[in-house]
Amino acid sequence: MKNIKIDSLRCPQDHVCPLVNLCPVGAISQEGFSAPTIDHEKCIACGRCVAMCPYRTLSFE
């Protein structure tokens, strides 16, 4: 299965990430306004977050 990676340099880190609530298995988390993190144990690589990130900070490895 592919892993999803986050390019934290492209993430503006000034907002609550909308992808946290988008993930169907709760694999995305965020502390404050920092870049989100992916729990690869939970992630099913459905690609919703990759497709929906407005800043294109997520991609498949």
Question: Looking at the DSSP assignment, which residues form a beta bridge with residue 5?
Answer: 59
For residue range 2-15, list pLDDT tens digits in order: 899 999 999 999 99
- pTM for the structure as a whole: 0.89
Domain ranges of the chain: 1-61
Taking CA atoms, 42 is separated from 1, 6, 22, 34, 55, in Å, by 12, 16, 14, 20, 23
For residue range 9-51, list pLDDT tens digits in order: 999 999 999 999 999 999 999 999 999 999 999 999 999 999 9
The Cα 25–Cα 49 span in angstroms is 12
To the question of domain 1-61 being in CATH 3.30.70.20, the answer is yes
SS3 48: helix
The Cα 46–Cα 8 span in angstroms is 20
Neighbours of 60 (CB within 10 A): 11
